[in-house]
Structure 1
Amino acid sequence: METLETKKKRAFPHSLVIIFLLICVAAVMTWVVPAGEYVRVEDALTGRMVVDPNSYHVVESNPANLFDVFVAIPRGLSEAGWIAWMVLIIGGSFHVIESTQSTRALIGKFMKTLKGRGGIFFIPLLMLPFFMLPAITGNGESMLAFLPLGILIARSMGFDAMTGLCIVTIASSTGYCTGLFSAFSTGTAQSLVGLPVLSSGLWFRILGAVLLFAAAAFWTVRYAWMVKKDPTKSYCYDLERNASEQEAEIVELTTRRKLCLVEFLLGICTIVYAALAGWDFKTRFPAIFIIMAVVIGLTAGYDANKIASTFVDGAKVVLVGALVTGFSKGISVILADANITDTIVHALSSLVVGLPTQIGAMAMLLVQSVLNCFIISSSGQAAATIPIMSPLGDVLGLTQQTVVMAFLYGDGFSNLLLPMNASIMGACAISGITYPQYMRRAIRHYASYMVIGFIMLFIAATIKLGPF
């Protein structure tokens, strides 16, 4: 029997531990990698300072010492402070909204209405709300609350628990990948490269979202059809043989919750309008979420203390993500102080020099996918990698919008497979599906998403996808 001590030894390192080790690696690199830099010139069209790809030259080295490693952490928190505060504010506000159970009641009523209807082509319709909510809000973890109901509906339609997991968890994870209006991923990345936040490149993200949803629905319908014809082919057949038909909790859609939903919809519309109108992203977007939390909390019957305490509980949930953002920024602080960021960019560009820009865009997707294994937080990964990928894009002749798309897909797609992803492991725990069983299903989604990502980046690099 495995002891507690053995389990502790096998436990995956905490995100902050990984980031700190990466800061240490960056510090060691400052002693090994020669310092160098590119000359920045102003782009006549955008006014943004861009890299002159032929201007790289060696400069004086400034390696980091041991104390610099620890100084980089508070400096990173300070420089990425607005991102960390945004994560806390949006996380806390969304928790207030979710605590009213308004969205749970609406989706629960919708799914209960479809219960018992065996038409397999209802599946994409069931998946759509779970896809859209994370695509707009950037919050996919809250969709776990609907998983028991999703599994119940799937079984009542003659399918299995894996189909229910695909309807809820795969759909929400896929929606998150699109970054349509996600302040955490798209907003952070675009602000770091100086693009108009959320409004820029929206049509291209919508195109990608349509393709990704089509792929998610195709694989889910195909699997459900297989299980319907032969239940023994279920990836979790043993689980299905022992499945109990317990009723999942259905939350009543009261008048208060209907009003909360109307207010939530108005808030989402305001966010979309603010993005298209070019409102200040760093302050006004979090402010919209605060207003939504207060108004919806009061409508739900909360007093001021209840709203505040629920907000704090939500902020606690995302606190690690906020800290990871600041810690991750410490990596780029170390590299920038030692003047080796441009050296890394120069080395990476030399690997693909002479190749079509489309290949460079695809390579960025692969690099971001690997980095996501170490930096799970989307805002944290943006803070750590965009300072390197942005000038690399300039050198390779890629637009900054293409750089952002490579980041979004690299950050999002690999989340489907990572055992460090709370949404995935939580879904496995709730459903009773083992991680290997889940992987057997998810790998098909991941492979098709990567193909779509490569195609989208090929197009972006070819048409030189601009800010709008």
Structure 2
Amino acid sequence: MNKIKIPHTYVLLFMVIVIAVIMTYIVPAGEFQRVEDPETGRIVVVVDSFEYVEQTPVTPFGLFESIPQGMVQAGLIIFFVLMIGGSFGIIQSTGTIDAGIGTVVKSMAGKEKLIIPIIMFVFSLAGSMLGVAEEVLPFYPIVIALALALGFDSITGTAMILLGAGAGFAGAFANPFTIGIAQGISGLPLFSGFTFRLIAYVLILGVSIIYVYRHASKVQKDPTSSPTYEEDLKRQHKLDLNDLKEMTARHKAVFTVLIIGIAFLALGVGLWGFYINELTALFLIIGITAGLVGGHKPNQIAEEFIKGAQSLVYGALIIGLATTIMVVMENGNILDTTIYTLANLVEGLPTVLSGVGMFFVQTLINIFVPSGSGQAAVSMPIMAPMADVVGITRQTAVLAFQFGDGFTNVISPTSGYFMAALAIAGISWEKWAKWMLPLFLIWTVIGIFLVSIAVLIDYGPF
């Protein structure tokens, strides 16, 4: 019996785009009125303003038009990924990353697995307090190379960042881009309900660390048990543990440039509001400076930049294809209809089921609107007053949004930064999804439990 083969990621995303186009002929078109919030300047949905409008189905030609539109919408992130690839290509070519990892490997001899909770905890704080997503893409090549050198696999390396930041994002206790916006729209005090969300953060991160740790232990004992065993054997860049490089003075100089650059990144994101443009510029500066300090001539810097950027073209284009799905739904005027229909499903249910229902609705919405701040702006003006109607607190509605937005980010093929991370790691979506599914189900159970508790205790202040 032949094994069923899952389509290539590009084919899979194109199939989803085609389904979205077909739905523009079936789902009634509709839209909410939107206004600018005078206090924040954000565009928000006007409650009870939904109305059906004239059908605007996307034509077959429009399907292909929507692809470049998606690429344009995601253009900043696409070029950010390419610039990261180019900059790290320069840094990689100096040999500094290899030498640095070699130093870590020697210092971690006999206690390699301790690196897993340490790295996951650090990235979880970034996810929880800064809402990082695309910002951590530059770290994947380093951590994956480290994981392979320590005897793990590329899934372990990817998971340390993706699930570390993802668990922090899903269990965020102080994320201004999701919790802050959702609470602001709901009229709640900023970051209120902190203690309950901190408990959620500890639970979600804790089970994630255990899950990755157990996988790493299994792979360390039997490398062939890894879903990416064959891919990892073929990696062009893999450290030879029998020939670990020493840190030279030039390596230390390049490493210093990298550390200073990362420090500026942290300060920029946390204090100065850096986003894609600023971060792209910063990594270009880091890459070029590292190349010069590392002894490269200008022509060599340019060549290594091109090689590094080429390695991430696959992932960069995936981001545009994922964005195209939302573009099709917007062009066909079915995105608001979908959100309106899903939101109405929770009305009339018992209070606990209403809370859990909101969680599942937000999970479905996140597949179509993978941006956390975007989902908050679209869904919370509907969900907050609906919480009043069904008898649960608005804080519970924000919690349901938080989990619904966060959990699917690390498994949904429509999540652009997630697919870019897999592309950088060289892991197919189907292999990751199969490996991730048990943890995703555990997260979902935790989400149902915590939302139910929130309903029962009238999680507030209101």
In the superposition, the TM-score normalised over structure 2's length comes to 0.68
The alignment status of 1:391 with 2:378, answered yes or no, reads yes
Look up the SS of the partner of 1:352 in the other structure: coil
The alignment status of 1:258 with 2:252, answered yes or no, reads yes
8 Å Cα contact 1:76-1:329 kept in structure 2: yes
Paired with 1:319 and 1:266, the residues of 2 have a C-alpha distance of 27
- Residue 266 of structure 1 and its aligned partner are, at CA, apart by 1.2
> How big is the alpha-carbon RMSD for the aligned residues of Structure 1 and Structure 2?
4.8
Per-residue CA deviation, residues 94-125 of structure 1 (Å, 9 max, x unaligned), is 333334343443343233233246xxxx7334
8 Å Cα contact 2:116-2:160 kept in structure 1: no
Paired with 2:319 and 2:177, the residues of 1 have a C-alpha distance of 10
Equivalent in the alignment of 1:150: 150
The alignment status of 1:175 with 2:167, answered yes or no, reads no
Per-residue CA deviation, residues 321-378 of structure 1 (Å, 9 max, x unaligned), is 2222222333222222222221111111122235667535532564378x59xxxxxx
Paired with 2:325 and 2:60, the residues of 1 have a C-alpha distance of 14
Per-residue CA deviation, residues 139-161 of structure 1 (Å, 9 max, x unaligned), is 4354332334312xxxxxxxxx6
Cα distance change of structure 1 residues 388 and 29 upon mapping to structure 2, 3 Å threshold: farther
Total equivalences in the alignment:
400
The alignment status of 1:128 with 2:118, answered yes or no, reads yes
Paired with 1:65 and 1:222, the residues of 2 have a C-alpha distance of 49
- Residue 270 of structure 1 and its aligned partner are, at CA, apart by 0.8
Structure 1 residue identity aligned to 2:405: F
Structure 1 unaligned spans of 5+: 152-160, 181-185, 240-245, 373-380, 428-434
Equivalent in the alignment of 1:291: 285
Q: Within 5 Å, which residues of 2 pair with 1:17-416?
A: 17-116=11-110, 123-125=113-115, 127-129=117-119, 132=122, 137-138=136-137, 139-151=139-151, 168=157, 170-178=159-167, 212-218=204-210, 247-353=241-347, 358-359=355-356, 362-363=359-360, 366-367=363-364, 371=367, 382=370, 390-397=377-384, 403=401, 406-412=404-410
- Residue 189 of structure 1 and its aligned partner are, at CA, apart by 8.9
Paired with 1:97 and 1:48, the residues of 2 have a C-alpha distance of 39
8 Å Cα contact 2:156-2:215 kept in structure 1: no
In the superposition, the TM-score normalised over structure 1's length comes to 0.67
Structure 1 residue identity aligned to 2:166: C
Equivalent in the alignment of 1:155: none
Equivalent in the alignment of 1:14: 8
8 Å Cα contact 1:127-1:167 kept in structure 2: no
8 Å Cα contact 2:100-2:247 kept in structure 1: yes
Paired with 1:227 and 1:11, the residues of 2 have a C-alpha distance of 24
Q: 340-349 or 169-178: which moved more?
A: 169-178
- Residue 82 of structure 1 and its aligned partner are, at CA, apart by 1.8
- Residue 424 of structure 1 and its aligned partner are, at CA, apart by 7.8
8 Å Cα contact 1:177-1:411 kept in structure 2: yes
Structure 2 unaligned spans of 5+: 127-134, 170-174, 185-189, 230-239, 385-393
Paired with 2:251 and 2:338, the residues of 1 have a C-alpha distance of 52
- Residue 65 of structure 1 and its aligned partner are, at CA, apart by 1.6
Paired with 1:108 and 1:188, the residues of 2 have a C-alpha distance of 37
Q: 34-43 or 391-400: which moved more?
A: 391-400
Paired with 1:257 and 1:326, the residues of 2 have a C-alpha distance of 36
Look up the SS of the partner of 1:339 in the other structure: coil
Per-residue CA deviation, residues 223-263 of structure 1 (Å, 9 max, x unaligned), is 899999xx99x979xx9xxxxxx945423222222222222
Per-residue CA deviation, residues 125-179 of structure 1 (Å, 9 max, x unaligned), is 465247647966234354332334312xxxxxxxxx6xx7886454344224247
- Residue 81 of structure 1 and its aligned partner are, at CA, apart by 1.8
Paired with 2:117 and 2:242, the residues of 1 have a C-alpha distance of 18
Structure 2 residue identity aligned to 1:393: M
Paired with 2:262 and 2:159, the residues of 1 have a C-alpha distance of 23
Cα distance change of structure 1 residues 52 and 83 upon mapping to structure 2, 3 Å threshold: same
Paired with 2:10 and 2:162, the residues of 1 have a C-alpha distance of 23
Structure 2 residue identity aligned to 1:362: F
